[in-house]
């Protein structure tokens, strides 16, 4: 079994050792892509012999994945071909791991970890603490049996310890900054353990459980909202000043195709000013979330390509030591979480059939220069 909120691992690190033994901007117009004959409805062409993303990038290129989707051989093949890092899309979160009685299950995240290992890919742990997920087992904790802080630490030890030596990094605290950028999120964790204290405690505990992993602070809308970005950076600085082992910054980048050119570049450079490694952690470029409803589908697709290009070029402009990884929140359109919101969206760099779109070609172009 995988332990529970009520039981700390025998030694913080043993579980992980066991498991590892056992288990297994340019604008789109500047892309100068060569034509390769008719393709899908896209107006932009893609070279027929486009090399895999991971073979051209001088850093890890990642994708999220759900365990059950690994049953789809076409997706498994595409992941194996294109990426060198995997992020579990949701099964390494509390919502999956923590059971109503406080026990833990790890079957699905173990499966993703095994797939990553079998294909020589990095694994990105996502995520230990998230304001959006406070499982009933934590809310109803019997504090006569265990203090809340001990259960919180047990959880982090169990999960980060299990994947010790397997993950390249952890999104330790996800989305810590308030929606409007004014301060930090309210959450069960903040109420029980303190708004800043629960964050610092998560980093210290993750470091106890895994001495090697890059410990990231991950958030979204950092390109759209300078105020949120400033608060994010202040939080990072405060963590560092307090001695908390924060060793990387993640910027999700769930952006829309009509985002103003330059915003992404500015955000990446501001984040990099702290000197920490940067993870583009969840990139997708929505067509249907665009504010500008007058743009044609073709124009949105063209802008989408330009956004992928800007993101990749901005990341490439960082010093090598600050390029942690570049992760796409899904390779194929059909697998994207955004499809649930709007079935007409097509935010990924590969189409439903796994064929590269112009966005994939833009990534390749930027990564290999
Ligand atoms: O894409 C993920 C979706 O499948 C899950 O249902 C959801 C809740 O676990 O999380 C989505 O991923 C989110 C990520 O974990 C954090 N940043 C925002 C992502 C999109 O909502």
Structure confidence by residue, pLDDT tens digits, 64-102:
999 999 999 999 999 999 999 999 999 999 999 999 999
Same-domain check for residues 257 and 315: yes
pLDDT at 2: 77
pLDDT digits (tens, 9 = 90+) for 109-157: 999 999 999 999 999 999 999 999 999 999 999 999 999 999 999 999 9
Element containing residue 173 per DSSP (H, E): strand 167-174
- For residue 145, the CA-to-ligand 1 centroid distance in Å is 33
Angle between helices 197-209 and 148-162 (to 10 degrees): 40
CB-ligand 1 contact for 13 (6 Å cutoff): no
Same-domain check for residues 263 and 333: yes
Contact status, residue 181 vs residue 235, Cβ threshold 8 Å: no
CB-ligand 1 contact for 93 (6 Å cutoff): yes
Residue 361 lies in a domain: yes
- For residue 219, the CA-to-ligand 1 centroid distance in Å is 12
Element containing residue 323 per DSSP (H, E): strand 323-328
The boundaries of the domain holding residue 169 are 84-211+226-249
CATH of residue 276: 3.20.20.80
CB-ligand 1 contact for 313 (6 Å cutoff): no
Residue 302 lies in a domain: yes
**64, 69, 89: residue to mutate for ligand 1 pocket, most atoms within 8 A of CB:** 89
CB-ligand 1 contact for 337 (6 Å cutoff): yes
pLDDT at 9: 65
pLDDT at 369: 82
- For residue 11, the CA-to-ligand 1 centroid distance in Å is 32
Residue 333 lies in a domain: yes
Residue 147 lies in a domain: yes
Please state the pTM of the whole predicted model: 0.91
Which is the closest atom of ligand 1 to the Cα of 127? 15
The length of the chain is 369
Residue with CA at minimum distance from ligand 1 atom 5: 90
Same-domain check for residues 263 and 124: no
Same-domain check for residues 168 and 91: yes
State phi, psi for 300 to the nearest 5 degrees: -65, -40
Helix, strand, coil in percent for the chain, rounding step 5: 40, 20, 40
| Lookup result for tokens 């630490």 | 153
Share of the chain above pLDDT 90, in %: 88
User: What would the two tokens of residue 363 be?
Assistant: 């990534």
pLDDT at 165: 96
Question: What are all long-range contacts of 315-318, with beta carbons under 8 Å and residues at least 24 apart?
Answer: 315/59, 315/268, 315/278, 315/280, 316/366, 316/367, 316/369, 317/265, 317/268, 317/269, 318/268, 318/272, 318/278
- For residue 21, the CA-to-ligand 1 centroid distance in Å is 30
Residue with CA at minimum distance from ligand 1 atom 19: 282
pLDDT at 99: 98
Cβ count near 38 (within 10 Å):
6
Residue 357 lies in a domain: yes
- Residue 283, Cα to own-chain centre: how many angstroms? 8
CB-ligand 1 contact for 282 (6 Å cutoff): yes
Residue 208: DSSP 8-state: H
User: How many domains does the chain fold into?
Assistant: 2
State phi, psi for 166 to the nearest 5 degrees: -105, -35
Cβ burial of 74 (10 Å; 0-12, 13-18, 19+) is exposed
Task: Tell me how far apart the alpha carbons of residues 266 and 254 are, in angstroms, rounded to a whole number.
Answer: 16
Same-domain check for residues 147 and 129: yes
Same-domain check for residues 155 and 115: yes
Same-domain check for residues 181 and 300: no
User: What would the two tokens of residue 55 be?
Assistant: 């073979």
Same-domain check for residues 237 and 258: no
| Lookup result for tokens 């649930």 | 340
Same-domain check for residues 199 and 267: no
Same-domain check for residues 167 and 187: yes
Residue 112 lies in a domain: yes
- For residue 127, the CA-to-ligand 1 centroid distance in Å is 10
Please give the positions annotated as active site: 175, 282
Residue 44 lies in a domain: no
Same-domain check for residues 101 and 230: yes
Task: Tell me how far apart the alpha carbons of residues 281 and 188 are, in angstroms, rounded to a whole number.
Answer: 25
Residue 288 lies in a domain: yes
- The low-confidence residues of the chain, meaning pLDDT below 70, are 1, 9-43
Same-domain check for residues 93 and 241: yes
User: What would the two tokens of residue 33 be?
Assistant: 């892509």
CB-ligand 1 contact for 6 (6 Å cutoff): no
pLDDT at 313: 98
């Amino acid at each position: 079994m995988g332990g529970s909120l009520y039981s700390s691992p025998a030694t913080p690190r043993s579980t992980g050792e066991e498991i590892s033994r056992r288990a297994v901007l340019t604008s789109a117009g500047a892309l100068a892509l060569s034509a390769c004959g008719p393709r899908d409805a896209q107006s932009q062409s893609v070279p027929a012999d486009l090399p895999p993303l991971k073979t051209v990038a001088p850093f890890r290129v990642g994708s999220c994945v759900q365990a059950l989707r690994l049953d789809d051989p076409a997706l498994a093949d595409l992941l194996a071909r294109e990426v060198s890092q995997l992020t579990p899309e949701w099964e390494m979160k509390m919502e999956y791991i923590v059971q109503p009685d406080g026990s833990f299950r790890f079957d699905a995240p173990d499966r993703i970890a095994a797939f990553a290992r079998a294909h020589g890919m990095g694994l990105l742990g996502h995520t230990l603490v998230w304001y959006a997920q406070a499982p009933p087992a934590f809310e109803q904790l019997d504090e006569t049996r265990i203090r809340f802080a001990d259960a919180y630490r047990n959880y982090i030890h169990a999960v980060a310890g299990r994947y010790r030596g397997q993950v390249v990094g952890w999104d330790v605290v996800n989305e810590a900054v308030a929606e409007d950028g004014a301060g930090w999120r309210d959450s069960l964790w903040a109420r029980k353990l303190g708004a800043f204290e629960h964050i610092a405690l998560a980093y210290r505990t993750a470091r106890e459980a895994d001495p090697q992993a890059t410990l990231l602070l991950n958030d979204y809308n950092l390109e759209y909202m300078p105020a949120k970005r400033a608060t994010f950076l202040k939080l990072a600085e405060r963590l560092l000043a307090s001695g908390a082992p924060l060793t990387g910054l993640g910027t999700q980048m769930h952006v829309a195709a009509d985002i103003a050119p330059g915003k992404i570049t500015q955000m990446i450079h501001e984040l990099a000013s702290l000197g920490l490694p940067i993870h583009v952690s969840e990139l997708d470029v929505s067509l249907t979330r665009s504010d500008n409803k007058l743009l044609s589908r073709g124009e949105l697709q063209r802008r989408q390509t330009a956004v992928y290009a800007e993101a990749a070029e901005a990341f490439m402009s960082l010093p090598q030591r600050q390029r942690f990884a570049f992760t796409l929140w899904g390779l194929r359109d059909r697998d994207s979480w955004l499809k649930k919101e709007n079935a007409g969206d097509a935010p990924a760099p590969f189409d439903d059939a796994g064929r590269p779109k112009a966005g994939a070609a833009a990534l390749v172009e930027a990564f290999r220069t």
